[in-house]
Amino acid sequence: MPRGRSTFTKRQKEQTRQQKQRDKAERRNQRKQEKTTPGSIDEMAELHEHAAAQAALFNLGGDEPRSGKDISDGENAFKR
């Protein structure tokens, strides 16, 4: 059964509308990803700086590295 011109036009408009919606959603997702990426990089850099500061705090007390032997010595470790 042949379809009329108006049916074809409606179908074409609907397909165009759907394509525009898909394009719009894709652009929206790209913007979200662009916003997320710089923020997460800054956050990771901040965490690395914090970790480095914590490591520096733990190493402030002694010039020489500690070994497992110091812990097993008991009282002798405190007499150094």
pLDDT by residue for the chain (80 residues), tens only, comes to 567 889 999 999 999 999 999 999 999 999 988 877 665 667 778 888 988 888 888 886 555 555 555 555 555 555 55
Separate counts of helices (H) and strands (E) for the chain: 2, 0
Position 67 scores a pLDDT of 55
Task: With beta carbons less than 8 A apart as the criterion, state whether 17 and 10 touch.
Answer: no
Length of the chain: 80
Q: Mapping DSSP to helix (H, G, I), strand (E, B) and coil, where does residue 40 land? A: helix
Q: Which two tokens stand for residue 1?
A: 């059964």
Burial class (CB in 10 A: 0-12, 13-18, 19+), 70: middle
The encoded tokens of residue 4 equal 């009329």
